[in-house]
Amino acid sequence: MVMQIVCSCGRRLQSSVARPGQLCLCPVCKQTLVFPEEDNPAPTAAQPTAVAPSPLMLQETISDAEVGTPPRTAFSEPTIPREENPLVPALVSPATLTRVAMVGGPASGLLALGRNERCLGQHRRGNCIIAFAFVFQTAVIAGLVCSPTTAYVRAGLILFAVLWIAAIPIISALGRSWYRQATRHARPMRTFPDSRTTVVLFTVPVLVGSILVFVMTHMIVDDAYSLSGFSLLKSTPNDRVYYSQEIPQSYAEATAVVLRDSGYFGHGEGKSVRLRCETDQVVVDFLLEPSGWENPHTVDHYRELGKTLSTRVFRSIPLQINLCDASYKCRCGLRIVTESP
């Protein structure tokens, strides 16, 4: 026998195993009802008794519009409902995302945006955004380091500043759009409590990574750019003379002979000299050990060596001797003018 009862909230409950006078619990309003002993299914409040039987929990119910439809399930033991929308990890709010992009630049903003996407379950899109952020920052730094002239560096800085400003509204708009999409699914979310902490969290890694990329790029391309456009003349297996297109090869060969005769070449230490023209003079770049250009005796030695080169090789051409570090950056310049004999 199927027994029915209508709750005050409008739900019609029925069961084939319930008995008259037995308690049940409405799954909607949680009101305790009593199955009547007569056929009238009007709701009846539970009467207090000395020992009340344990109420039964209905897993499924039907509405008034579904009268006559057999119930999908019968009585069962109470179960803990599974949470369909788990709490999303802490997200970066759109306002904080804009501050991150303003302080840390496009890379920091993209890094925070990619993390939001990963927290919302879009792992592939989040990983692509994070990878693009690091590739973009690396390309910008490498381009600035590899610029051959200051004009290119200045143009690169201006372009990077324009991209920085243009990226702020774009990243902010994307953050707001995807944030609204997440809230549209009624997913409970929480955000970082402190905006300053969030800005530091996403700015410091980009800053440290940029410094590392700058140092590594400078070490890799420095030698290549300092010797690009120069021809090579090997005086000995380990000693080299690099000369630019404006310097005749005969001058390079004569310079190698003078340096070998003076004892600068030929010790197996692998020394290098660079010859180039600069306005109305010839420049000879010597590589020295760190702080070697601060020793007065070393400076006097290279001054005498410059006079010998000016007399035997370059004649009366003005000569500039540069004492450089490992990257051919001039640390001490000696201008030598010697009349031809």
Q: Where are the beta strands (DSSP E) in the chain?
A: 3-6, 12-15, 23-25, 32-34, 56-58, 75-76, 231-234, 240-243, 272-278, 281-287, 319-324, 330-336
Question: 218-273: per-residue pLDDT in tens?
Answer: 666 555 555 667 888 887 777 889 898 888 899 999 999 999 888 888 777 778 89
Report the pLDDT value the prediction gives residue 323, as an integer from 0 to 100. 92
The answer regarding whether domain 231-336 maps to CATH 1.10.287 reads no
Cα 218-223-225 angle, rounded to 5 deg: 85
Q: 0.85 exceeded by the pTM?
A: no
116 vs 316, higher pLDDT: 116
What does the pLDDT read at residue 158?
Answer: 86
Query: Taking the domains of the chain in order of start, what are their residue ranges?
Result: 1-80, 94-226, 231-336
Q: What tokens appear for 241 in the block?
A: 């003379």
Average confidence score pLDDT of the chain: 75
